[in-house]
Amino acid sequence: MRLNFVFLAPCLGIPIIHGKPIEQGQKEPACRKTKVAILYVSLTIFVILFAGILTEYRGAGVAGITTAQTLANRSMTDFIIVEYQDRIGGRLHNVKFGKKRDGSPYTVEAGANWVEGLGGGNRPENPIFTLAEKYKLQALATDYDNKTTYDRTGKNDFSKIIANAASAMEKVVTHAGSMLKNNIQDKTVRAALRFMGWNPAANNAHAQFADWFSSDFESSFTPEENSAVFSSVADNATFKHFSDDNLFVYDQRGYSTFIRGEAATFLQPNDPRLLLNTVVQVVNYTDNGVTVVTNDGGCIQADYAVATFSLGVLQRDVVQFYPPFPSWKKSAISSFEIGTYTKIFLQFDKAFWPNSQYLMYADPRERGYYPLFQPLDLPGALRGSGILVGTVVGKQARRVEAQTNQETQDEIMKVLRMMFGENIPDPTAIWYPRWNQEPWAYGSYSNWPPSTSLQAHQNLRANVGRLFFAGEATSQEFYGYLHGALFEGRAVGQMLATCINDPVRCTDKYGQPRYPILTGVTPYDLYNEKNGWFVSTIA
C-alpha cells in the first residue's frame, strides 16, 4: 500500500517519504518523539512511550508484551501501544467455533495449543507453565501412548513401528549434541536417521507415518529439510532442560488469557494508550534513532526500536526499511525457514471415535496426508463437544490452506470413513486458519535448515543501528516455542534498559555480536549468553 504521508527522518539528515527523499514543495510533518520503539509481529505495532521511551509492537504477542512488561517493571510506564489487529495475542490466537447445546460457540486455538516442556521439581520450570498455573488455564496432560492407529483397512496396530522411529530420533538427538560440541559439520535429520539405522521405504505407509510423527509433527518440516544439530538443540533445550511433560490447552477463555493477564499488569481496561487496528508501513533506522510511519499517517521518532515481526513478514518485505538492511542481515533473514502447521477443526453431532488422545492414520499413497486427528471430546477435556482436530503441516498444510473448506472436508471425510466406516456422518461445522496467507504472520513458526550455524542465526538476532529484533525466531535454543518468544522479550527488554542508561553499549560496535563473514561450523566457545545461548543443550 502506498503512503500519501510525508515524514522527516532527521537522524538521516534528509526528509523521507517511503524511504525516499521528499520532493520539493512537500511539507514535512512533525513526528512524535521518544526513546524506544518496539515493533512486534508482522503488521502490528505497539508504540509504548515509557517516560520518554517509545516501545512499538507489531502485534501484541508474547515477545512484545514481555519486552514491554520488562521495561514497565523498571518503572517505565508512559506508553502508547499500536496494534494491527483488534486484539492482544499475536500468533497465540483463539477463535469461536461450532455450537454448544445452548447455542453458544466453543473456543478453539488457531495457533499455539501446548505448553511444552513443563519442568519443575529438580529442573527449572518453564515460564509459560508458570504463567499457565498462575492463570489456572484448563489443559489436558499429553499422553503420546494414548493412541489408536489406522490405515486404509481401518484399525491396525503399528505402534511398534512408531516406537522404533522415536528410538532412532532419540539417538540422533544424542549424537547431534556430540556433533555440536566437537564442531562436526551439520547434516540433515534424514542423513542422521539413516546413520542410526532408520531408513523407511517409500511404500511402507506405517513407517512413513512413524517418520512423519517423529519429525514433521513437531517442526512442520521433513527430515530432509531439518538440521540434525539444531533440531536436536531445540529438542534438548525444551524437553531435557525443562522436562518431556506437555499440556494441551483447551481453556474456554483462550490460551492467550495469560498474555492478556500479563498485559493488564501495566495496561488499564480501555487504556487510551492501546491503539488497535493500526499498521506499520515504514521504518527508518540509523545509529542515532528510528522513525516509524503507520498507515493512519502517524509518525514516531524514537531513540531505539525493537522489531518483533515474524520471520515470514521479514521475508516478504511487508514493511519497508530504510536504509535497506546490510547484506549480512538480509542473508540471515533469507537463510532461515518458517513452517506451516494447520489445525482443521470439525464438529460432529456426537463422537464416533475412541477415547484416545491421538488417532493416527497411515495413508498408503501420500506421506503426511491427514495423518493425525485429536479429539477434544474426551474425558477431562471438552466432553460432549463432538469436536475433532485434524493436523497437516508443511507442503500438505500449504495445499489445504489454498483450497476451500468444502474441498478439505470432502478429503477428510474419505479418510475418516476409511478409519471408522462408511456410516459416520458429515460434520456440522468445519474451520481452519490460513497461516501461510495471513499478512501479519505468513507462517506458523520458524525453523533452522541444515548446515546453518550459530553465527548465521546471531545475524538474524543482531541489531542494525538502533533497530533491535526479538521473537521466537530470534531464540537460539527455543525457536518455534512460546517460551522462546518470552525469553527473547525479556532479553531485549533488559538490553533496552541498559541502552537507556549507557547508549554506547547498544551501538553496532559494542552491541549484539554479528558476523559479516561466515566461516562454517561454530566454535563451541561461542555458544554463550552473548550469542543468545543460555542453557546446556547437550543430551
Question: How many Cβ atoms from other residues are within 10 Å of residue 259's Cβ?
Answer: 27
Type of residue at 461: R
Query: C-alpha 184: how far from its chain's center?
Result: 28
Asked about 28 being catalytic, the answer comes back as: no
Cell numbers given for 34 = 521518544
Q: How far is CA 194 from CA 182, 219, 282, 305, 482, in A?
A: 21, 19, 47, 45, 31
| Secondary structure of residue 239 in the 3-state scheme | helix
Q: How far is CA 154 from CA 150, 151, 158, 303, 415, in A?
A: 5, 5, 12, 62, 10
Ordered alpha helix ranges (H), 104-158: 127-134
* Sign, CA torsion 452/187/212/487: negative
Q: What is the DSSP letter of 446?
A: E
Q: Alpha-carbon distance 138 to 254, whole Å?
A: 9
Query: C-alpha 207: how far from its chain's center?
Result: 29
| Secondary structure of residue 135 in the 3-state scheme | coil
**Annotated catalytic residue within 56, 83, 109, 116:** 116
SS (H, E, C) 374-438: EECCCCCCCCCCCEEEEEEEHHHHHHHHCCCHHHHHHHHHHHHHHHHCCCCCCCCEEECCCHHHC
Q: Alpha-carbon distance 91 to 389, whole Å?
A: 18
Cβ density class 484-517: b for 16+ within 10 Å, e for less: bbbbbbbbbbebbbebbeeeeebeeeebbebbee
Q: Alpha-carbon distance 263 to 256, whole Å?
A: 11
Q: What is the DSSP string of 485-509?
A: HHHHHHHHHHHHHHHHH-GGGGSTT
Cell numbers given for 103 = 447455542
Q: Among 496, 519, 514, 534, which residue's Cα sits nearest to residue 457?
A: 514
* Residue positions annotated with a catalytic role: 116
